[in-house]
Amino acid sequence: MQTRPNRIIRRLALLTLSAGIAAAGLSIGGCAATADPNLAGPEYPAAAMQTRQLDVQVFREDTTVRFTNTSAIPLGPGRLWLNQWYSRDLPEIAVGETVDYSLSEFRDRYGESFRGGGFWASDKPELLAKAQVETAADLVGLIVVAVPEE
């Protein structure tokens, strides 16, 4: 026969364990990226054809993307597209100018950001495979340089 204090201790232990599991589940769920419709960008212009490729090299550095306009003409204004899915506004980039953008600034049409990774990331970082600039006149390709992982 069990005594009343043992039953109370067992119930408290079960309640504490349940609360701990629930809290862990909420904290893990809180790390996941969620879509924010208020930050949604436009849909990729699939009907537009890339008309040319500029000799502008794009580097992914951890959670940022960096490039220098090494072409003979200003780049933009327009939209900078990554992987034909994520984009952000691009101001005019002068010849020789270097810019850095956080990958979290690039959003898709649902408001989800580019999975850039980082120390606290719960998802595997997305690879950067393609970069393009959409201007009023055309779609221009940039060169994505793959940096080997250390």
Q: What is the pLDDT of residue 124?
A: 64
CA angle 116, 121, 98 (to 5 degrees): 25
Residue 124 near residue 117 (C-beta atoms within 8 A): yes
CA–CA distances in Å: residue 41 to residues 9, 32, 110: 54, 20, 7
User: Is 0.85 topped by the overall pTM?
Assistant: no
Question: Does residue 61 fall inside a structural domain?
Answer: yes
Give me the tens of pLDDT residue by residue for the chain, a chain 150 residues long: 556 667 777 776 666 766 666 555 544 444 445 678 878 889 999 999 999 999 899 999 888 999 999 999 999 899 999 999 999 999 999 999 999 999 999 999 998 987 765 555 566 667 889 999 999 989 999 999 987 665
Question: Does residue 120 fall inside a structural domain?
Answer: yes
| Pair 13, 50 in one domain | no
Question: Does residue 47 fall inside a structural domain?
Answer: yes
Question: Does residue 150 fall inside a structural domain?
Answer: no
Domain count, the chain: 2
Question: Does residue 140 fall inside a structural domain?
Answer: yes
| Pair 122, 63 in one domain | yes
| Pair 76, 12 in one domain | no
